[in-house]
Amino acid sequence: MSPVGEHRGKPPQLDGMRRFGGRGVAAFGEMLVVGLAVTALSLPVVTAVPALAAGVRHLESHLTDRPDSVRGMFSLAWAAIRSGWLFGLGSALIVGLLLLNVALGVQGLVPGGAAFAAVSGALAAVVAVVACRVAALWTPGRRWATLWREGRSLAVGDPAGSALVLAGLGVGLVVAWMLPPLIVIAPGLTAVALVAAERRRRTAEEGNG
């Protein structure tokens, strides 16, 4: 068949997707959907990590051409929140206390001042990265205590992946700082970084195997 014939035989929506970036545009749109959904689900704070876990699963499903409806993502989120709210509570408390230490140190209200704030900020980043890597490992039915042990080991054993996750968190924070309304896309950026880190890790393991 001639190129003209092939062009005529293809659905117009596919031709339009190809013209405007194809799967790249679709993935960007899905990142925005994940960001909005995770932001809304994270409003109680203790649900943030389980909500992110559902967002990562949804984005992974989209990128691997599996069912990826928004309704399905909220079903995943409900399952993750029911089993993981306690882990989310612990993570939120630890990060919150460390950020409070940062604020106190910056204002000079505690001995050590800037050094205390820097150490507390670094610890908060470490806890956030570990919590995110735990979220990326979640699948329905898995115990969060087991995921915590695996995620903690993974954060140390895969430094490149952890650096990628930290970069995703950092970009999200910078975007939110520059334009606060865009905070809603920060979880989407983190989810993309987590999917990329997990894919990189699995590819490396398959290559070594």
Cα–Cα dist 36/183, whole Å: 9
Average pLDDT over residues 94-123: 90
Q: At CA 141, angle to CA 136 and CA 143, rounded to 5?
A: 70
Tokens read off for 39: 């932001």
Tokens read off for 200: 């990189």
Average pLDDT over residues 114-125: 93
Residue 42 CA, distance from chain mean position? 12
Res. 20: pLDDT tops 60: no
Cα–Cα dist 45/25, whole Å: 30
Give percent above pLDDT 90 in the chain: 68
If pLDDT is split at 50, 70 and 90, which confidence band does 110 have? confident
Residue spans per domain, the chain: 30-208
Helix/strand/coil (H/E/C) assignment for every residue in 28-85:
HHHHHHHHHHHHHHCCCCCCHHHHHHHHHHHHHHHHCCCCCCHHHHHHHHHHHHHHHH
Can you give the pLDDT at residue 100? Answer: 94
**Contact of 30 with 68, CB cutoff 8 Å:** yes
Backbone angles phi, psi at 108, to 5 degrees: 70, 25
Tens-place pLDDT, residues 45-104: 999 999 999 999 999 988 888 888 889 999 999 999 999 999 999 999 999 999 999 999
Tokens read off for 112: 């050590």
Can you give the pLDDT at residue 24? Answer: 56
Res. 12: pLDDT tops 80: no
